[in-house]
Chain A
Amino acid sequence: MGTDALTLPRPRPLAVPLAAFALALLIALALGITFGATSLSWRALAAGDETARQILLLIRLPRVLLAAIVGATLAVAGVTFQTLLRNPLADPFILGVSGGAAAGAAIATATRLSLIPGAVPIVSFLGACAAIGAVLVLARRRDYTDPTRLLLSGLVLNAFFSAIILISFSLSRQSDLTAALRWMMGSLFGTTWLEVGAMAVLLIVAMVVLAAIANDVRMFVFGEDDARSRGVDVERVKLIGFITASIVTGAAVAVSGIIGFVGLLVPHIVRLIVRRDIRALLPLCALGGATLLVFADVLSRTLTPSSELPIGAFTALLGVPFFISLLRKSR
């Protein structure tokens, strides 16, 4: 009397949305490489013009790729936090990562360490790691990482770091609002291939780790108790998930500042398009986040002649209307 498994509604093949998102990313990348503050003459490039080569290969291309990688990172971290914390409002910065990274950058600027090339991203990353460590320690209670305490600790730590940042900037001799604004709004200016390579490696490692625990992470949807009864080592999965997602987010902030909305919005946008669990959401969010940030980056550097607008503004400007239209269509 059982229903035939062959007629049972299995989820549609993942290949379809995967291909669609990949296509969107390719289009975004193509636009990103083609458009910029200067109009690139492809003929000049082919003819070996040094300037064209510099602009394309050393300035525009690494920047577009970093936009894709950072976008993917933030979206993947966002969906991980939202699932583990069972909270649709979680974003990758929620555990104090953004505060720690920005405070690191602020301190580096105030102490003039920023004059050493490469110092700011490193100190910023250390700040992010310190924040992650502090939040996890605060939230542990008898071998149990309490999600509510985690969220509260993250909030409190972010506020604390904001205070440090403000003080650092008013004490710093230069009052480097430029650097401050860069961090607050995100910037991909001056991306180097080294940054692209480092972030690519971190992203790949993070995705492999998250994919490895994905089968367990998806059980969090039913609650931690239920997950435990399904044989999931809830505490271990939480630690691995939080630490992985936070570290890779900290690296993204160290390299590109605080770019908002991607980590929060992209998971929701993807979920409205494809109703699947996190095993499918991880690669789809990676592609979706990459696409959004590449588009935002193109807009930020082509709308004003010879100048740039903050990229964080465009992630919201692009993402929010899209999200709203999806939301209205879905119900």
Chain B
Amino acid sequence: MSRRIVFVLAALLAFSCERAAPPPPRAAAKRIVSLAPSVTEIVYALGAGDMLVATDDFSDFPEAAKRLPKVGGVQPNLEQIVALKPNLVLSTVIGSSPNLAKALNAVRIPLVSVRHDRVSDIRVAIARIGAAIEAKDAASVAADVERRLEAQKRTRTKKPRVLVAVWTDPLFVGGRDTFANDLFELTGAENAVPPSVTGWPQYSLESFVANPPDILIYPDHSVTRAQIDKLIARTSAKFEAVPIDENRFTRLGPRTPEAAALLNEIFDRWERTH
């Protein structure tokens, strides 16, 4: 999660449109480098895991991905990528700097970047990556993810107001046009931020105290219990702070329905006690 925040905040450089990389991918890409954990999971879901020659530092699912060579975290090592002689590099739009595209273009390595902002981007990402690696069953994989997401759809008579905090000091939250918001709406909850709050902005402590959520969600790698407790101590309102598996929640891909399921667990529990 925090890795996403990094690039949202360096938003000066983030591009909102997808980049089609010249030259187009050659037939049957057999050597793929993935620069994002969500992309890695999609590649495995498409059955093309054995085509991966390297991933970024954070790709750790499935188990096999852990054993692949790593080419760097926030800033991938271009030399290492090129040395592996890939014929396709996959990345997310937000996770790739413009220099990456230029550099790969210069060495004639195709780059495909997929959007990673909303839940609806998952389907598109699977389709584009599937097309790039010529996976036969991309459509059915995408459909399967959609189906599992639909299965998590809930309508609740009492909608919990939810806030996701990705950093506490200062407080950064998920706004109305993010995948977090999409997941909340899917699972029958409501984002506690006012409608004007979009993206992943710094949130005013006053607003937090004036409109406390019913449930505060936080990704379990980036934020600790101690930090959350310190934040909650600023207000006397009573609400739950619940950690959520950061990997499932922030990687938009085949495991996103599991994140939705986790949210449903949390919200079901809340419904029962309120």
Consider the complex of A and B and state whether they touch directly, i.e. have CB atoms less than 8 Å apart: yes
Q: How far apart are the CA atoms of A38 and B6 in the complex, in Å? A: 28
A186-202, CB < 8 A from B: 187, 189-190
Asked if B193 lies at the interface with its beta carbon under 8 angstroms from chain A, I say yes
Residues of A within 8 A of B210 (CB): 37-38, 51, 55
Stretch from A208-216, A245-253, A264-272, A300-308 forming part of the interface with B: A300-308
Q: Are A50's CB and B196's CB within 8 A?
A: no
Contact mask B209-248 → A, CB, 8 Å, 1/0? Answer: 1100000000000101011001100111100000000000
Contact with A along B1-33 (1 / 0, CB 8 A): 011011001100000000000000000000000
Q: In the bound complex, do residue A51 and residue B209 qualify as a contact, i.e. CB atoms below 8 Å apart? A: yes
A187 to B231, CA, bound (A): 16
B193 touches A306 (CB 8 A): yes
Measured between C-beta atoms, what is the minimum distance from A235 to chain B in Å?
Answer: 42
Q: Does chain A have a CB within 8 A of B201?
A: yes
Contact with B along A33-66 (1 / 0, CB 8 A): 0001110000000000011001100111000000
Q: Are A117 and B226 in contact (CB under 8 A)?
A: yes
B74 with A175: CB separation less than 8 A = yes
B46-88 residues with Cβ-Cβ distance < 8 A to A are: 73-75
Given the contacts A59-B209, A190-B169, A307 and B230 also touching, CB distance less than 8 Å: no
| Number of residues from B at the complex interface, CB < 8 A | 37
* Interface-side segment among A127-135, A177-185, A319-327: A177-185
Q: How far is the CA of A51 from the CA of B235 in the complex (A)?
A: 8
Q: CB of B104 within 8 A of chain A? A: no
Q: Given A115-B224, A178-B170, A59 and B234 touching (CB < 8 A)?
A: yes
Residues in A with CB closer than 8 Å to B75 are: 170
Are B171 and A189 in contact, with the CB atoms below 8 A? yes
Complex contact B74–A59 (CB within 8 A): no
B-contact 0/1 string along A156-176, CB 8 Å cutoff? 000000000000001000111
**Contact flags (1/0) for B173-199 with A, using CB distance below 8 Å?**
000000000000000000001101100
- Find out whether the CB atom of A306 lies under 8 angstroms from the CB atom of B203: yes
A308 touches B206 (CB 8 A): no
On whether A189 and B202 interact (CB within 8 A), knowing A54-B234, A116-B226, A181-B9, the answer reads yes
Contact pattern, A 280-294, Cβ under 8 Å of B = 1, otherwise 0: 000000000000000
Q: Which residue of A lies closest to B58 (CB)?
A: A173
Q: How far is the CA of A51 from the CA of B236 in the complex (A)?
A: 8
Q: How far is the CA of A190 from the CA of B208 in the complex (A)?
A: 11
How many inter-chain contacts with C-beta < 8 Å in the A-B complex? 95
A301: chain B residues within 8 A (beta carbon):
204, 206
Q: How far is the CA of A54 from the CA of B208 in the complex (A)?
A: 11
Q: What is the bound-complex CA distance between A51 and B210, given in angstroms?
A: 6
> Given the complex, which residues of B lie within 8 Å of A178, measured CB to CB?
5-6, 9, 167, 170, 172
Residue of B nearest to A302 (CB): B204
User: From A306, which residue of chain B is reached at the shortest CB distance?
Assistant: B207
Question: What is the bound-complex CA distance between A170 and B57, given in angstroms?
Answer: 13
User: Which of these, A54, A116, A304, contacts B209 with CB under 8 Å?
Assistant: A54
Partner of B226, one of A59, A115, A189: A115
Complex Cα gap A117–B228 (Å): 10
Residues of B within 8 A of A190 (CB): 169-171, 205, 231, 234
Closest B residue by C-beta to A39: B210
**Cα(A175)–Cα(B74), bound, Å:** 7
The answer to whether A177 touches B6, judged by C-beta atoms less than 8 angstroms apart, is yes
Specify the chain A residue showing the minimal Cβ separation from B166: A178
A306 to B203, CA, bound (A): 6
Query: Max chain B CB contacts within 10 Å: which of A37, A38, A304, A306?
Result: A306
Contact B230 A177 (CB under 8 A): no
> In the complex the two chains form, is A55's CB within 8 Å of B227's CB?
no
Instruction: Give Cα A308 to B173, complex, Å.
Output: 12
Give every chain B residue within 8 A of A305 (Cβ-Cβ): 194, 196-197
Tell me the minimal C-beta distance from A83 to chain B in angstroms. Answer: 35
Contact B204 A37 (CB under 8 A): yes
A-B contacts, 7 of them at CB < 8 A, read A59-B206, A175-B3, A178-B6, A178-B167, A304-B201, A306-B196, A307-B204
- Sample of 14 more A-B contacts, CB < 8 Å, known A189-B202, A190-B170, A190-B234: A37-B204, A37-B207, A58-B209, A59-B206, A115-B224, A170-B74, A176-B6, A189-B171, A190-B171, A305-B194, A306-B207, A308-B170, A308-B202, A308-B204
**Chain A residues in the interface with B (C-beta under 8 A):** 36-38, 50-51, 54-55, 58-60, 115-117, 170, 174-178, 181-182, 187, 189-190, 301, 304-308
Report the 3 A-B pairs with minimum CB-CB distance, sorted nearest first. Answer: A37-B204, A189-B170, A38-B210
